[in-house]
């Protein structure tokens, strides 16, 4: 294996022992980007000089014998809806094509504080709305396992950057599955923290009551390392939870005795690909062989999850995206005949089709006369979904199932059918509606060589349990050691 194919945990040891410098590793990642990113299309912005300067400064401190932070010089790619002072932050939208934020997101500050190297900005569906990264206004991102296929979304650039071995770690955001689904489709690990575990300060808002920032890595240890870096209270996000952050890395190797793995029968309904089902069932056998108990549970609200999500998320989006008016923020039209025209033209030119669809749906759901029938009803359904999870987690520690109903689909396959695109989130959105924790780990491949993901969900603030359960599976299998062959 060459350097860029190693998992973050192995690289940290090499960096700490001084066997590899941060400059060498960063340079290797830049070279990988140079040779492969024209095919993958993971990055929207990457300033080689800036990342090497950061790496050199960390190396200089190591040479002086100064203690280094958790990341010890590791490159971390950043989804382009996270602000970094002075660095383009576009949300893959024409609306923010020229935006350079005057401040840095909490999570990016944390990466820098722990001596990570913020390594470029990655592609996404415009404003994180989508499941394939095809909604980016700028470019398509391709799945490193099959360049004809999508990497998932919306954090497709961040997932493809890790899967394609362009960077060992990356950050994404997950509003309805945007970390877990691309992790699953790209054969890596991705974790959505519980709502409030990680500060949203500096994350461009899509649906504020659902959005969370989280890590991507090749394995569970790398995921725990980056979660350790970014988790914790931040007074600049009033929804960030003021609870101590457990030492995720310290407990990772200790198996959970008497683990109870819940399996909901609703996870195996129509629409689930048979190869995905088989891989997930094999994973349940892995847990059984490790001494875990498999507990049958039910999630009766699951048929309502998609409708609930697409009302709550669009309602919040219609409100959050009102700020892009061509006056305060974002693209301003050249045709400024009067104020209303300025608003209409600026928004009409700046937003893409999916974002407009969401704004219209959300505005309708909130409009007087319809709010009770749609938005308020969706909030009630949201509460019932949380009640389901609370009941389930009384009888099991984690809930296991598929992350996505199918492996990666072809570019363009669902692009003209929003409903079928929305259905690819069927297993992931309830987690956001309930505010609980969830992750996806690799659990197999289809006959044609596409990765399959296993989703493990846990109660709110139970990331430690979820990570340990994931590590038990990982230790007993070798799915996380595979890398795509890219020519």
Interaction site with ligand GLN (CB under 6 A): 128-131, 154, 174-178, 206, 313, 425
Which CB sits closer to ligand GLN, 59 or 174? 174
Which of the residues 21, 79, 302, 414 is marked catalytic? 79
Known catalytic residue: 22? no
> How far from 44 is each of 102, 120, 288, 364, 418, CA to CA, in Å?
19, 8, 43, 33, 25
Which CB sits closer to ligand GLN, 114 or 425? 425
Buried-state track 104-132, b at ≥16 Cβ within 10 A, e below 16: bbbbbbbbbebbbbbbbbbbbbbbbbbbb
C-beta separation of 209 from 316 below 8 A: yes
Q: Is 86 left (phi over 0), alpha (psi -120 to 50) or beta?
A: left
Q: In whole angstroms, how close is the CB of 131 to ligand GLN at the nearest point?
A: 4
The angle that helices 220-230 and 8-16 make with each other, rounded to 10 degrees, is 70
Burial of 349 (0-12, 13-18, 19+ CB in 10 A): middle
Q: Shortest CA distance to 271 belongs to which of 406, 151, 402?
A: 406
Q: Shortest CA distance to 428 belongs to which of 216, 147, 182?
A: 182
Tokens of 2: 């060459």
> How far from 23 is each of 9, 11, 184, 385, 418, CA to CA, in Å?
17, 13, 30, 48, 44
Q: In whole angstroms, how close is the CB of 462 to ligand GLN at the nearest point?
A: 20
> How far from 319 is each of 358, 361, 378, CA to CA, in Å?
11, 11, 16
Q: In whole angstroms, how close is the CB of 180 to ligand GLN at the nearest point?
A: 9
Which CB sits closer to ligand GLN, 297 or 433? 433
Which of the residues 154, 173, 318, 437 is marked catalytic? 154
Known catalytic residue: 302? no
* DSSP annotation of 343: H
Q: In whole angstroms, how close is the CB of 328 to ligand GLN at the nearest point?
A: 23
Q: In whole angstroms, how close is the CB of 289 to ligand GLN at the nearest point?
A: 33
Which of the residues 93, 178, 199, 283 is marked catalytic? 178
Burial of 138 (0-12, 13-18, 19+ CB in 10 A): middle
Q: Which residues pair with 203 in a beta bridge?
A: 82
User: Residue 329, SS3?
Assistant: coil
Which CB sits closer to ligand GLN, 262 or 438? 438
Which CB sits closer to ligand GLN, 137 or 297? 137
Q: In whole angstroms, how close is the CB of 236 to ligand GLN at the nearest point?
A: 21
Known catalytic residue: 154? yes
Tokens of 10: 């192995």
Q: In whole angstroms, how close is the CB of 157 to ligand GLN at the nearest point?
A: 13
Which CB sits closer to ligand GLN, 15 or 359? 359
Which CB sits closer to ligand GLN, 178 or 346? 178
Query: Active-site positions?
Result: 79, 154, 178
């Amino acid at each position: 294996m060459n350097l860029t194919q190693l998992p973050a945990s192995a690289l940290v040891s090499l960096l700490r022992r001084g066997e590899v410098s941060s400059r060498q590793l960063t340079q290797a990642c830049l070279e990988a980007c140079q040779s492969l990113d024209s095919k993958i299309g993971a990055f929207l912005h990457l300033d080689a000089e800036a990342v090497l300067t950061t790496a050199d400064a960390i190396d200089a401190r190591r040479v002086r014998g100064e203690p280094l932070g958790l990341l010890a010089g590791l490159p971390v790619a950043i989804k382009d809806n996270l602000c970094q002072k002075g660095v383009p932050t576009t949300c893959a939208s024409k609306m923010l094509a020229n935006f350079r934020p005057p401040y840095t997101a909490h999570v990016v500050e944390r990466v820098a504080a722990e001596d990570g190297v913020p390594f470029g900005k990655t592609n996404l569906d415009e404003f994180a709305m989508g499941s394939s990264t095809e909604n980016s206004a700028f470019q398509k991102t391709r799945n490193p396992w099959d360049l004809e296929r999508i990497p998932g979304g919306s954090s497709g650039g961040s997932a493809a950057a890790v899967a394609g071995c362009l960077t060992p770690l990356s950050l994404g955001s997950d509003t309805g599955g945007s970390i877990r689904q691309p992790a699953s489709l790209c054969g890596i690990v991705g974790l959505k923290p519980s709502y409030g575990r990680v500060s949203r300060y500096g994350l461009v808002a899509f649906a504020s009551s659902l959005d969370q920032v989280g890590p991507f890595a090749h394995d569970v240890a790398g995921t725990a390392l980056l979660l350790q870096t970014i988790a914790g209270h931040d007074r600049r996000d009033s929804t960030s939870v003021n609870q101590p952050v457990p030492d995720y890395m310290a407990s990772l190797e200790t198996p959970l005795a008497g683990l109870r793995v819940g399996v909901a029968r609703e996870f195996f309904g129509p629409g689930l690909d048979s190869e995905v089902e088989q891989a997930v069932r094999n994973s349940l056998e892995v847990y059984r062989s490790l001494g875990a108990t498999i507990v049958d549970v039910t999630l009766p609200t699951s048929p309502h999850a998609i409708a609930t999500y697409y009302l709550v998320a669009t309602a919040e989006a219609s409100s959050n995206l009102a700020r892009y008016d061509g006056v305060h923020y974002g693209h301003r039209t050249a045709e400024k005949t009067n104020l209303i025209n300025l608003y209409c033209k600026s928004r009409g030119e700046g937003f893409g089709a999916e974002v407009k669809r969401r704004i219209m749906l959300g505005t309708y759901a909130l409009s007087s006369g319809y709010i009770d029938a749609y938005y308020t009803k969706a909030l009630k359904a949201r509460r019932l979904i949380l009640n389901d999870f609370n009941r389930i987690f009384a009888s099991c520690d984690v809930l296991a199932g598929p992350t996505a109903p199918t492996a990666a689909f072809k570019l363009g396959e669902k692009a003209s059918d929003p409903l079928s695109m929305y259905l690819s989130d069927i297993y992931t959105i309830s987690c956001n509606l309930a505010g609980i924790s969830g992750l996806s780990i690799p659990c197999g491949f289809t006959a044609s060589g596409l990765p399959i993901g296993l989703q493990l969900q846990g109660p709110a603030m139970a990331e430690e349990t979820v990570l340990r359960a994931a590590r038990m599976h990982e230790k007993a299998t070798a799915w996380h050691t595979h890398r795509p062959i890219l020519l």
